[in-house]
Chains A and B, each alone.
Chain A
Amino acid sequence: MLYTNVIHRVDARADSRAAMAFQWREARRLALPTTTLLTYPALFMDEAIADVDQLRGDTDELGLHFHNFQSPRFLERFGTRESAFWLLPREVRRAFLDEMMTAFERRFGHLPKSIGGYIIDAWTLAHIKETYPSVEVAITSCFEEGVKMFYGNNRNWFLFSDGGPWNPYFPAKANALIPAADAEEAIDIVAVPHLNRDMIMALNSRDDLFASHPGNLFRARINEGAACPYLFRFIDAWERQAALNGWSYLNIFVSSPWMSPAHWAIGNIDDARALYRRMLEDLKEREERGANSNTTMVEFGAAFRARVKPGDATVCHWKDEIKQAKREVVWVANSHHRAAFDMNRGGALVDFRPYAGRLDGNLGPECPALWNGNYPFLISTEHCGGHWNTAQFASVSDGSHTFSTTDRRTRATVEKTENGAWIFRTEPLRFNLGAHSLVLQSAWEVSAQTGISIRRTVLEYSGDPTALRLTETFFGRPGTHEYPGDLRGITLWADPNTRLPFGYSSKEATVDSPRAVGADVGSLGVSVSMEAVTPALRGVLGDGWLFKPCFRLDLTHAPEPGKDVVTCLTTRPLKNP
């Protein structure tokens, strides 16, 4: 089942209020429930409250939103020009929340169950749950807007929460971007994303432009007048995700300024509103044919709690909905990691965030991270300049010629297994090795567990198979953005008994028949390893150098045609980091 959730935001400015009245009337006309979240200035403005009283229907839910609060009242009361809720000093955040909650209760007779912010960190979420236990569901993150939107927005948008899940989840007390492993670790609030994103653009471009938001699609100029077929393909794509996970959620949060003629990104307001109206009609039509359920945030939260428990994993199989070309990516998130595999590069692991270290992600002037809420990666092909710097992939050699799995584009099939895992496979791909040809297929099994099982199978080879060598490679570099940090302190190891401290020496250590090769990365509190489930011939540990600041782990096998070579990519908490 796809749960669709139309969300409005009540702002104070007259043009925004008029825009919100349009949004709300359209939803009412179609009897679509909404979640309508009030901002701080609107909450203290009688005209805005009068709008709410006049426009709301029985199926509309009211809650609070923590953006767009800066106003003469706020500045006078709290004495700060800070304009992002997640960056406010904690004392101000607490007092601001108290004032909003009290005012909401006074206005509407009860405390809210649904709240939203662009980022809500773990400290704030836990504080809210403790102080206002009525809160059941919260918008907590703008999935993967971080680094790329910062550049796209001319270095003015300090919103960094890269590295978390795209789907709803139970956030961990240690870091709100990490899905909790169990109920004890969870803050008892269902976290939902601020908008759904194009899951290919989330890897390599502006996923705020390609999102469940007609106004942002106008900003991306992917409309032609009021027409925007991409939007409906995008909704179809989220409907398809329900087949993989048993459920899917679509957060459609168009804040009112986007439906105002005054918005800088909107060329023709009639077209923008016509697309918004058409989108709501589409949601209604889907419901009439049983494809989705139009819900409020709190209704979705209840449905989610009935279906999903802390520790469950989620996957996404995303195809190119912009150009409808062949590109596909597969994402997985669980309490151990978030991983993205790019079928444009033969299924290479191109973004990998291991959560074992449970790093502190709290933000604000008291916190070491200040504004940088990005959960660190060990692999980010986008931020580190290509798969030759950070990625996990395989290569095959006959002794004289070599190819890499990244050389070929492929499609993926994704299947759910009986034990609640997922297996995804590339197509069988034909590669040339000199005069000979070889057909290779890759497959991955992902689940709620830490291990990602990687299988490579040589299906055909026209040459002498005893000459073949298949090498699994992991290139890693910890970071949260493009500039590399200090990699000293990382220890590369092979099991048993080989250690190579990272020191920018470019040295290599070769090990016969290792059970595993790995790296202990103290800054992430994580030990990552490739375990040779199929016994390996050789392992290589590669120190980097300053002009190529990354480490390399290799496991080399002699593959036999028709037999799987299996490697398990695993992360564990690092003891004594």
Chain B
Amino acid sequence: MPDNPPSQKPLICPACFAREIDPVFLHFDPEDGGEFYCTHCSYTARDRGAVEAFLSDHIRHRHGIG
């Protein structure tokens, strides 16, 4: 993940995760204020919080919560 911000762990694509495709890490493009993008599906997000919220929602469903 050469273009992920250094010192942060790469994020798992939540859309691929929701389709139960093994961890596909998001890339980060710093242009235009920055955007996370998946090269496997078409998922994009502007900020880390949005990615984490999507991901944790799916994990909660997986545990039967929510």
Identify B37's interface contact among A322, A325, A386, A387, CB under 8 A. A325
Q: How far is the CB of A341 from chain B (nearest CB, A)?
A: 13
| In the complex, chain A residues whose CB is within 8 Å of the CB of B37 | 325-327, 344, 409
Judge whether A320 and B2 touch: CB under 8 Å: no
Judge whether B42 and A200 touch: CB under 8 Å: yes
Judge whether B44 and A409 touch: CB under 8 Å: no
Instruction: Provide the B1-45 mask, 1 if CB < 8 A to any CB of A, else 0.
Output: 011000000000000000000000001010110010101111010
With A403-B2, A407-B2, A432-B2 already in contact, the answer to whether A323 and B42 are too (CB < 8 A) is yes
| In the complex, chain A residues whose CB is within 8 Å of the CB of B40 | 204, 386
Identify B42's interface contact among A204, A345, A408, A409, CB under 8 A. A204
With A325-B35, A326-B32, A409-B27 already in contact, the answer to whether A205 and B41 are too (CB < 8 A) is yes
Closest to B28 in A: A409
CA distance A325 to B44 in the complex (A): 7
Closest to A407 in B: B2
Instruction: Provide the A392-430 mask, 1 if CB < 8 A to any CB of B, else 0.
Output: 000000000001001111000000000000000000000
Q: How far is the CB of B65 from chain A (nearest CB, A)?
A: 24
Instruction: Provide the A345-356 mask, 1 if CB < 8 A to any CB of B, else 0.
Output: 100000000000
Q: How far is the CB of A9 from chain B (nearest CB, A)?
A: 30
Interface hub of A205, A344, A407 (most chain B Cβ within 10 A): A344
Does A201 belong to the interface (CB within 8 Å)? yes
Interface hub of B3, B31, B39, B44 (most chain A Cβ within 10 A): B39
Closest to B31 in A: A326
CA distance A326 to B3 in the complex (A): 15
Judge whether B42 and A320 touch: CB under 8 Å: yes
- Number of contacting residues on B, CB 8 A? 13
| In the complex, chain A residues whose CB is within 8 Å of the CB of B27 | 409
Interface residues on A, range: 20 to 34
How many residue pairs bridge A and B at CB < 8 Å?
Answer: 42
CA distance A386 to B39 in the complex (A): 9
CA distance A431 to B3 in the complex (A): 9
Identify B29's interface contact among A201, A345, A406, A409, CB under 8 A. A409
Closest to B44 in A: A325
| In the complex, chain B residues whose CB is within 8 Å of the CB of A345 | 39
Q: How far is the CB of B47 from chain A (nearest CB, A)?
A: 13
Interface hub of B29, B41, B42, B44 (most chain A Cβ within 10 A): B42
| In the complex, chain B residues whose CB is within 8 Å of the CB of A205 | 41-42
Q: Which of B39-60 contact A (CB under 8 A)?
A: 39-42, 44
Q: How far is the CB of A291 from chain B (nearest CB, A)?
A: 27
Q: How far is the CB of A315 from chain B (nearest CB, A)?
A: 21
Judge whether B3 and A407 touch: CB under 8 Å: yes
CA distance A282 to B32 in the complex (A): 32
Judge whether A326 and B29 touch: CB under 8 Å: yes
CA distance A322 to B3 in the complex (A): 24
| In the complex, chain A residues whose CB is within 8 Å of the CB of B31 | 326
Closest to B29 in A: A409
Q: Which of A302-335 contact B (CB under 8 A)?
A: 320, 322-323, 325-327
Identify A408's interface contact among B3, B35, B41, B44, CB under 8 A. B3
Judge whether A344 and B39 touch: CB under 8 Å: yes
CA distance A216 to B32 in the complex (A): 32
| In the complex, chain A residues whose CB is within 8 Å of the CB of B39 | 342, 344-345, 387, 406
CA distance A322 to B37 in the complex (A): 14
CA distance A175 to B29 in the complex (A): 42
| In the complex, chain B residues whose CB is within 8 Å of the CB of A201 | 42
| In the complex, chain A residues whose CB is within 8 Å of the CB of B35 | 325-326
Closest to B41 in A: A204
CA distance A327 to B27 in the complex (A): 12
Q: How far is the CB of A401 from chain B (nearest CB, A)?
A: 10
Q: How far is the CB of A384 from chain B (nearest CB, A)?
A: 12
| In the complex, chain B residues whose CB is within 8 Å of the CB of A403 | 2
Judge whether B42 and A327 touch: CB under 8 Å: yes
CA distance A199 to B31 in the complex (A): 24
Q: How far is the CB of B21 from chain A (nearest CB, A)?
A: 10
CA distance A577 to B7 in the complex (A): 52
CA distance A406 to B31 in the complex (A): 17
Q: How far is the CB of B4 from chain A (nearest CB, A)?
A: 10
| In the complex, chain B residues whose CB is within 8 Å of the CB of A406 | 39
| In the complex, chain B residues whose CB is within 8 Å of the CB of A322 | 42
| In the complex, chain A residues whose CB is within 8 Å of the CB of B41 | 204-205
Instruction: Provide the A187-202 mask, 1 if CB < 8 A to any CB of B, else 0.
Output: 0000000000000110
Q: How far is the CB of A477 from chain B (nearest CB, A)?
A: 18
CA distance A560 to B23 in the complex (A): 38
CA distance A201 to B43 in the complex (A): 11
What is the interface of chain A, defined by CB distance below 8 A to chain B? 200-201, 204-205, 320, 322-323, 325-327, 342, 344-345, 386-387, 403, 406-409, 431-432
Q: Taking A326-B37, A342-B39, A407-B3 as given, write out 13 further A-B residue pairs in contact, using a Cβ cutoff of 8 Å, ordered by the A residue number.
A: A204-B41, A320-B44, A325-B35, A325-B42, A325-B44, A326-B44, A345-B39, A386-B40, A403-B2, A409-B29, A409-B37, A431-B2, A432-B2
What are 23 A-B pairs with beta-carbon distances under 8 A? A200-B42, A204-B40, A204-B42, A205-B42, A320-B44, A322-B42, A323-B42, A325-B35, A325-B42, A326-B32, A326-B35, A326-B37, A327-B44, A342-B39, A344-B37, A386-B40, A387-B39, A403-B2, A406-B39, A408-B3, A409-B3, A409-B37, A432-B2
